[in-house]
Amino acid sequence: MDGKAGDPSLAEAVTALATAATTTTTAADTINATVNALNAAATTMTAASGTLNAAADTLNAASRAGNAEALTRLAEIDDLLARAAPAPAIDPPPPAAQLPGYTRSTEASSARVTAIAASNADRRRPNRST
């Protein structure tokens, strides 16, 4: 390439530069379109965030109102309980020795049954059905 007009290599270089410029312009247009789409999405998300925040504020207000109502009801229940008559005392059951049919031999029989059960627990046979 000698740089003279009409030189084919010079024309090829100019064509290559023009193609590169077109490719670069197309890439820039694509990037700009992507940035515009991202900006639009960000605007939509910001609007949605505002809507969600307003909904959250509404729910919080309803929750506070519900809590106030619950506290009012609890105060009413406490007041009713304070004014209610105390429950009658329940007498404890009598000792075993005062129960009808109880004798010292009953106590001894119970002790023997407990001892036999403990002894049998130590001598349990393995399950032979398997």
| Residue labelled with tokens 């059905």 | 129
pTM of the model: 0.40
| Residue labelled with tokens 């020795």 | 97
Mean pLDDT, each 10-residue run in order, the chain (130 residues): 64 88 92 95 95 94 93 91 79 66 64 75 59
CA distance 60 to 48: 18
Q: Which amino acid does the sequence have at 83?
A: R
Helix (H) / strand (E) element for 107: namely helix 104-122
Identify the pLDDT of residue 53: 93
- Grouping H, G, I as helix, E, B as strand and the rest as coil, residue 55 is helix
Helix (H) / strand (E) element for 34: namely helix 8-83
Identify the pLDDT of residue 3: 53
Other Cβ atoms less than 10 A from the Cβ of 114: the count is: 10
